[in-house]
Amino acid sequence: MQLNLQGPSLMPESGGAPDSLVVLLHGVGADGNDLIGLAPYWADDLPDTAFFSPHAPFPCDMAPFGRQWFSLMSFDPDRVLAGIRQAAPILDSYIDGLLAAHGLAADRLAIVGFSQGSMMALYTAPRRATPLAGIVGFSGALYGGATLADDIRAKPPSLLIHGEDDGVVPFPSLQAAHARLKSVGVPVKAVARPGLAHGIDEIGIDLAGAFLLAALTKKAAAIAHAEASC
């Protein structure tokens, strides 16, 4: 199946067909190579998981290199939201294509996003028809919150991690996103990282890994429990 986005990937350590997928969404001015480096940190605990890090669909309009999910030439919230809405169907189609290509249900795929990628995940995933396994959002923000109560169709568990010294996406975005998601029934946890700027630290990587392990192995654990009870 031809997917509408391309980028690096890491296949399961087990060598078999994946039983779960993690999609990594990079920030503005980067590309899929930026986040695929996170996959080896989590691959040992998720040996049957495949990791995909697509390049965002548009060339970065603020630099002669890199990609973007939407333009940040203007920080006007309405223009940012319009850009996210333009990119959301592209991301949706990519997710649908990955799931179909590997014969997996939506609850076998989790998203990890950084900055713009986190914004894309937090907008797109709750508006999908069926819930994904989970969302990890590093240094992001929630756009479209004003209509979320009307638009929401799924409530994937979410982990938000944000540096208190973030000079790019303001730290108060963390609590704002947490409060809004919680208000519409999304299971969400917010973690503040003291001293961290706009980035991902080792503690954040560990927290994300534990979250992904729980999100992507709960189905297998439930099956094993049922079989043990028979």
Amino acid at 134: G
The pairing of beta strand 109-114 with beta strand 134-138: parallel
Separation between Cα atoms, residue 230 and residue 218, nearest integer Å: 19
Cα three-residue angle 162-168-170, rounded to 5 degrees: 55
DSSP 219: H
Separation between Cα atoms, residue 206 and residue 211, nearest integer Å: 9
Catalytic residues: 115, 166, 198
Q: Are 191 and 207 in contact (CB under 8 A)?
A: yes
Separation between Cα atoms, residue 192 and residue 204, nearest integer Å: 10
Q: Are 10 and 21 in contact (CB under 8 A)?
A: no
Q: How far is CA 181 from the centre of its chain?
A: 15
DSSP 147: G
Which string of DSSP letters, residue by residue, matches 62-128?
Answer: TSSS-EESS--S---HHHHHHHHHHHHHHHHHHHHHHHHHHT--GGGEEEEEETHHHHHHHHHGGGS
